[in-house]
Structure 1
Amino acid sequence: MPNFEITTASADDLTMLAEWAHEESWNPGLTDRHAFFAADPRGFLVGRLDGAPVSCVSVVRYGRDFGFLGFYLTRPELRGRGYGIQLWRAGMARLDGRNVGLDGVVAQQPNYRTSGFRSVWTNRRYEGRPAAEPAAPSGITLVDARSVPFDRLAAYDRRFFPADRDSFLAPWIAGPTRTSLAAVRDGELRGLAVTRPCRTSSRIGPVYAESPEVAGALIGALAATDPDTPVAIDVPDVNPAAVRLAEQLGLTPSFETARMYTGPSPDVDHTGLFGITSLELG
């Protein structure tokens, strides 16, 4: 009988997981693994069949009572044999006692509901080249986010995410090949957005802003850093203004997931959330 075991992923394994995600057309960031591993080095599990990796899941712990599940994959030729569900159970055991979030693809959402998750909104990925580069509103200045004291960025991120995640956020903002912009007025943060290169469209996320006008200025400025490459933003429909902005920019929906939780929907600022950070880690 084949020997199936579950192990903690190595740093090298994260490169493999990104390749598997690319094969699923998820378009992962080329350097996302650096921030992912920093978030929770033990939060990535790999199922191995006779030593060969065949399935994976990320189960990242945030703070004391929140977790996020992603990267749930089994190699296509081995699906339906129980390897994925074994890994799922091990991952959920690691997050036992926490409110767990995930962004589930459409085909898996019924299975997630069976496991106790409930949908709270839909993320639609909007892609393309923005029709224009909107000007920043009066009084707003766009600056390199790396020039802003990190404690201010982390506090701002906490308005839109259910838990502190400083170890993840620092490399996400300042990691290699990324561009991060902050919107500032009167010395206060009014928006934040990050873009990173991927296999196809560059991904922008998060996009936080006090208004659609600030969000549009951030997206336009980031898109302009590489005008020949389309951008992609995972837009939460819980913020109708974010959906309208994506459509006004001429972006087209191409993919969707559902944000789901096992517990209550966390109390975050949905009105300022114009694009989520990552489908894998929230």
Structure 2
Amino acid sequence: MSTPPELTVERCTQQEASEIFYKWSTQEHWNPSTKGEDVRDVYFKADPQGFFQSKVNGEVVSIVSGVKYNDDQGWIGFYITSPKNRGRGYGIATFRKAMEHIGLGRASIGLDGVMAQVENYKKSGFTEIAWQNERRNGPITELVEQQERALAEGIAKNEIKGLVNLSDPLVDLNQLSTIEQRFSGLKRPEFVKDWAKFHNHPEKRRFGAAVLSTDGSKDEKSGQPIVLGYACVRPAETSYRVGPLYAATPEAAKQLLVKLAYEVVHAEKQQSYNIPLKFDVDVPNSNQEAVKLFDGLGWKDTFPSQRMWKGVVPPHDVNGVFAITTLEVA
């Protein structure tokens, strides 16, 4: 299929990407992070050449990102065509441009596909399914003040050993990318560091937490405590979005989840941020302990999607993934 002659495909500037990708994903009810700050400050930095927009007569008709993470991995995200221009070949032409940028010979190219598009992605070579995500949604005030009140009170008093803010000097950021590669298969150390730093902004309601070993075990390279799991939360349009939530044990996962909820609820009591006090958590349903955790809280699946790969599925242990980082860029 050739590119429609009236269509031009351009790379986005950082400002264009943060504005357009945020606006369009909001219109699609994807619940993106507020004001496109994640696109501007983290996603775009991961690959400044990987954000594309297509235009007809100067009007943007389609967008997509194609991010290179390393020599053998890339990721497709934000694949949207404006509703009035669908069915004209504009979207697939933009998609192909992003794929060309990543490199068709790359060993692994992934995406999180909405269910309505899964068959179309398979036709484009994304035939390997790693897992299905379930977007679990639930109230966090209830979590902190009722369901896990004892744990939240312990967190408030700093009584939970090993549970710290992600900005704590004891947290070795290099271990975070090792954890992500182990559990999800993604190799993107600089992205992980930027993501952790992005969530060290309590004044913007962005929080990060980690669980450290308390048995004295240390990382061989850094000499810092072993990180058993970490998690982040950020405000979005209609809720707060949690991601990632990586943990070696269900107990650590629960501690991280309640820690993030406590921080948001506590901050809201000081000054409202005018965002519903709910969490959205994209959970691989093949992690039975994760499903059990959120079933136990009564949080329902509101938006399923599939993690799909073209080429090799990177080795991973999904049992440590209690929430993916983000649907937009994995």
Classify the TM-score, shorter chain. Answer: over 0.9
Shift of 1:209: 0.5
Question: 1: distance between equivalents of 2:71 and 2:161?
Answer: 36
4+ aligned runs moved over 6 Å, structure 1: 136-139
Gaps of 5+ in 1: none
The corresponding residue for 2:30 is 26
Q: Which has the larger radius of gyration?
A: 2
The corresponding residue for 2:61 is 54
The corresponding residue for 2:91 is 84
Check if 1:270 corresponds to 2:318. yes
The corresponding residue for 1:171 is 194
The corresponding residue for 1:194 is 232
**Structure 2 matches for 1:196-215, cutoff 5 A?**
196-215=234-253
Shifted more, 126-135 versus 195-204: the winner is 126-135
Check if 1:261 corresponds to 2:270. no
- 1:19-40, Cα deviation, whole Å (9 max, x unpaired): 1101111101122111101111
Shifted more, 28-37 versus 189-198: the winner is 28-37
Shift of 1:170: 2.3
The corresponding residue for 1:145 is 166
DSSP 3-state at the match of 1:217:
helix
Shifted more, 243-252 versus 157-166: the winner is 157-166
Q: Paired residue for 1:158, among 181, 202, 217?
A: 181
Question: 1: distance between equivalents of 2:186 and 2:306?
Answer: 20
| Contact 1:63 1:163 survives alignment (8 Å) | no
**Structure 2 matches for 1:89-108, cutoff 5 A?**
89-95=96-102, 96-98=104-106, 99-108=108-117
Q: TM-score, normalised by structure 2?
A: 0.81
DSSP 3-state at the match of 2:167:
helix
The corresponding residue for 1:9 is 12
- 1:68-91, Cα deviation, whole Å (9 max, x unpaired): 101000111111111111111111
The corresponding residue for 1:35 is 42
Shift of 1:2: 7.5
Question: 1: distance between equivalents of 2:174 and 2:291?
Answer: 30
Shifted more, 96-105 versus 114-123: the winner is 114-123
Check if 1:241 corresponds to 2:241. no
Gaps of 5+ in 2: 215-224, 266-275
Question: 2: distance between equivalents of 1:72 and 1:152?
Answer: 31
Pick the structure with more helix per residue: 2
Question: 2: distance between equivalents of 1:191 and 1:64?
Answer: 26
Question: 2: distance between equivalents of 1:250 and 1:184?
Answer: 28
Check if 1:183 corresponds to 2:231. no
1:139–1:225 distance in 2 versus 1, CA, 3 Å: closer
Shifted more, 56-65 versus 138-147: the winner is 138-147
Question: 2: distance between equivalents of 1:161 and 1:41?
Answer: 23
CA-atom RMSD in angstroms: 2.0
DSSP 3-state at the match of 2:303:
strand
Q: How many residues align?
A: 282
| Contact 2:61 2:81 survives alignment (8 Å) | yes
Question: 2: distance between equivalents of 1:141 and 1:163?
Answer: 26
| Contact 1:35 1:169 survives alignment (8 Å) | no
Shift of 1:247: 1.2
Shift of 1:169: 1.8
Shifted more, 38-47 versus 164-173: the winner is 164-173
The corresponding residue for 1:126 is 136
Shifted more, 135-144 versus 244-253: the winner is 135-144
Question: 1: distance between equivalents of 2:13 and 2:82?
Answer: 18
Shift of 1:166: 2.7
- 1:159-190, Cα deviation, whole Å (9 max, x unpaired): 22434323322231121432000001232111
Shifted more, 14-23 versus 146-155: the winner is 146-155
DSSP 3-state at the match of 1:160:
helix
